[in-house]
Amino acid sequence: MPVISESRIYNKLSYVYDGLMKSVDFNVWTRYILDIAKINATKNSSFLELAAGTCRMAVKINTVYPDLIATDFSLPMMQIDKKNSLKKVCCSMLNLPFKTKFDFIYCTFDSINYLQTKKELITLFSEIESLLDGDGVFTFDASLENNSLEFTEEQVTEDKFDGNSFKRINCYDKEKRIHTNIFYIKNADGKKYKEVHKQKIYEFETYFNLINKAGLLVKECYDGFTFSDGSPESERVQFIIGKNKV
């Protein structure tokens, strides 16, 4: 039987990540973040991206806003594109190592859902509160339950990318509100790896409560990829938050 090594999330998945994400329209997602930035930032604003992954979005946004730092906890992900000249820092969003303030902080691709507990959410929001400049904003998207309900029955997909292959098992546990993706990755040299990704699907109101507890304020909450109001029935919501100056 072939040996399958357990891997830390987003370690070996880095081999196939851009193939896995090929169905995601990065241009649409980037334009949406840029539209939000146009309202809340200036050309000279300082930008910070959390969970930047392989930095495809950061590269695009950096052409408009040159003062940008991309961060991710996975060094293999950040090393995929060695050609770009981005400022990159490998770190956890729960322990951001910056002394300076930022005008615009953003986090995309439901990365926030990787935080498994309310304590972790509070920790993130507290980190953001300490790093935001006075009028700065933090924007992030969150996946809600309606985005996961179609996966209450297990779904399996397989694909290849850049000489590597992968199998993805996708399922949602409604009782625990945990969305799980299990990846089996076979890289070009034949080695096999397994990564288990778990995302917590929080209730809509939870975000508002914890944001307020961290000394922040929800300025806007949009239905994903729109500027219409988000709701508990949305599949994805986009938060725009700032410091609570009261």
User: In which band, very low, low, confident or very high, does the pLDDT at 1 lie, cut at 50, 70 and 90?
Assistant: very low
105: how many CB neighbours lie within 10 A of its CB?
A: 26
Helix and strand tally (H, E) in the chain? 6, 12
pLDDT tens-digit map of 114-133: 999 999 999 999 999 999 99
Percentage of the chain exceeding pLDDT 70: 98
Specify which residues 217 forms β-bridges with.
242
User: Going from the N-terminus, what domains does the chain have, and what CATH number goes with each?
Assistant: 4-8+147-200 (2.20.25), 21-144+202-243 (3.40.50.150)
How would you classify the pairing of strands 87-90 and 68-72? parallel
User: In which band, very low, low, confident or very high, does the pLDDT at 26 lie, cut at 50, 70 and 90?
Assistant: confident
How would you classify the pairing of strands 178-186 and 164-173? antiparallel
Kindly report whether the global pTM for this prediction surpasses the value 0.85.
yes
Average of per-residue pLDDT values in the chain:
94
Kindly report which listed range (82-86, 134-138, 174-178, 202-206) carries the lowest average pLDDT score. 82-86
Angle at which helices 204-213 and 118-131 cross, to 10°:
50
| 3, pLDDT greater than 70 | no
